[in-house]
Amino acid sequence: MTFCEKPPSFQFDASPSQLKTIMPYLKVYIHFIWSTKKRIPFLATPKIRTKVWWHILNNAASKGIFIDFINGYSDHCHCLLSLKSTQNIEDCIQLIKGESSIWINDNNLLKGTDYSHFDWQEEYYGVSISPHDIDYVRDYIKDQEAHHKIKSFNEEYNEFMNSHGFQEFK
């Protein structure tokens, strides 16, 4: 068959009741990273971070978004997300980031810090993860506290950008 030829017809031998049980089998994992606005260390204490990560996890679950693992440091968040076939990346990230910003501000999580208003940076980084690499990524996300005693977020960010072939446009 050439590109311009009409494809052969296709007939599906299934009753309407059988069609209802057909569903996609899908495993799509994406490792997302996003920073606080201007990389300000809004999330400076483990107490604040723990509250934020738990809130993001629970709020996402209430919206049908499955977060496999979440953690981060004072100026950024790592999130391993598993997408359903009906979800798109932009909507999921917008729900997670947008709602959590509002929640952090409404609950005065920055009270007693040098900051009065919380925001996430607009952009984010995301890369698909093979099911074979899930445990490695979970461990990487889990070890953020120790990791960032050695390496800054800027160094980490540049390594991710370079290792996955991303280019920043200015």
Domain limits of the chain? 24-163
Write out the H or E segment, with its range, that includes residue 29. Answer: strand 28-35
Give 65-84 pLDDT, tens digit per residue: 999 999 999 999 999 999 99
Give percent helix, percent strand, percent coil of the chain, each to the nearest 5. 45, 20, 40
Residue 136 has what pLDDT?
A: 94
Instruction: DSSP letter for 120, please.
Output: B
Q: Domain 24-163 belongs to what topology?
A: Alpha-Beta Plaits (3.30.70)
The closest of 55, 53, 79, 77 to 66, measured between CA atoms, is 79
Residue 1 has a pLDDT of 40
Q: 24-54 pLDDT, tens per residue?
A: 678 899 999 999 999 999 999 999 999 999 9
Hey, is 169 helix, strand or coil? coil
* Token output for 166: 């991303």
Model-level pTM greater than 0.75?
yes
Confidence at residue 96, expressed as pLDDT on a 0 to 100 scale: 97
Contact 127/37 with Cβ under 8 angstroms?
A: no
